[in-house]
Amino acid sequence: MNVARSNTAIGTTATAEPAKVYRGRFAPSPSGRLHSGSLLAALGSYLDARHHGGRWLIRIEDLDTPRNLPGLAGDILQTLARLGLESDEAPLYQSSRHAAYQQALAHLQAEGLTYPCSCTRSQAGPGIYGGHCRSSPSGPPPYALRLRQADERIVAFVDRFAGLQQQAWVQLGDPILRRRDGLIAYQLAVVVDDDYQGITDIVRGSDLLDSTAWQLALIDALQQPVPRYAHLPLLLAADGSKLSKSRSAAAVAEQPPATVLVDTLTYLQQEPPAELYRASVSEILAWGIAHWQPERLRGLTTLTEKGPA
């Protein structure tokens, strides 16, 4: 399944095990414009990939079609390009990947790892636990499909920034893989696509830290290689409150690219020198790549935006 990996290895011979060349990605959903929180993940994943001599890809997660706004994918790609953040390969659109998701679902079904669930959100109770349909659906179709795992299962991994993470399946609950309306769930699509694109390193926002255990269970069930994870601390507004996504998206769109990039380097704890505000986009990125010190993010749970100057 890792078709994209082998042709990027440099200097390998036919007999040697191909070197695991770093492949990172940024995977925005076109349900809103790029804001300073999403930009943190974009720049963090880009700098980490480049610092490791790796490739960096953009994937448009446009599966949740009712929530996707027309023209937004183009807007996101354009905003990224203005900041010098361009995908090394043509962006992958999840809306073009349905056959691959169906194939993965069929594999999980054949392994007995899925079950139909007819619960509405309120019947399923808090969270997404679907345990009461495990032996048979408690109501009529249409059914969602959930992933089945043993309750005793503990999923553990070491995150490069957040450290050791451990979660018990009984607390996680069985995630939905295909919704009642037929839409493929993010948890399945992300795992299938990270494998397809040969992603070795996932750098993304810590809002997805809790989803990682579900994704690792799926990676295991689909017998895929396990990527490294690095979840960035949550970016808060200057006064410590939650970011206003629309306000911060306007700021990303309206400010000069150098300001946006150097501010984001500051939030990422990289301490860029003030003269970088007068540098070009490519000079700023080159500085960021050369000076990237991801260990400065280790153990932090939040980052704070700059206040008004």
Interface residues with Zn ion (CB under 5 A) are 117, 119, 130, 133
Smallest distance, ligand GLU to C-beta of residue 91, A: 13
Nearest to 223 by CA among 110, 64, 61, 128: 110
Smallest distance, Zn ion to C-beta of residue 122, A: 11
119 binds, among ligand GLU, Zn ion, none (CB under 5 to 8 A by kind): Zn ion
Smallest distance, ligand GLU to C-beta of residue 254, A: 22
Query: Which 258-297 residues touch ligand GLU, going by CB under 6 A?
Result: none
Smallest distance, ligand GLU to C-beta of residue 49, A: 13
- DSSP for residue 32: S
β-strand partners of 13? none
* Inter-residue contact 108 to 147 (CB < 8 Å): yes
Whose Cβ is closer to ligand GLU: residue 61's or residue 305's? Answer: 61
* Inter-residue contact 209 to 231 (CB < 8 Å): yes
Q: Which of 5, 24, 27, 248 binds ligand GLU (CB under 6 A)?
A: 27
Compute the CA torsion angle 173, 177, 183, 189 (nearest 10 deg): 120
Q: How many CA atoms within 13 Å lie on the side-chain side of 96?
A: 7
133 binds, among Zn ion, ligand GLU, none (CB under 5 to 8 A by kind): Zn ion
Helices (H), 83-201: 98-110, 121-124, 169-172, 186-196
Per-residue binder mask for ligand GLU (CB under 6 A), 54-93, x = binder? -------x--------------------------------
Q: Does 190 contact ligand GLU by CB under 6 A?
A: yes
Smallest distance, Zn ion to C-beta of residue 172, A: 16
Q: How far apart are CA 56 and CA 52, in angstroms?
A: 11
Q: Which of 148, 204, 214, 267 binds ligand GLU (CB under 6 A)?
A: 204
Q: Does 28 contact ligand GLU by CB under 6 A?
A: yes
Span from 7-15, 26-34, 132-140, 143-151 in contact with ligand GLU (CB under 6 A): 26-34
β-strand partners of 211? none
Q: What are the structure tokens assigned to 22, written together?
A: 């770093």
Whose Cβ is closer to ligand GLU: residue 134's or residue 242's? Answer: 242
Written as one string, the DSSP assignment of 110-173 is: HTT-EEEE---HHHH-STT--GGGSSS-SSPSS-EEEE---TT-EEEEEETTTEEEEEEHHHH-
Interface with ligand GLU (CB under 6 A): 27-29, 61, 190, 204, 208
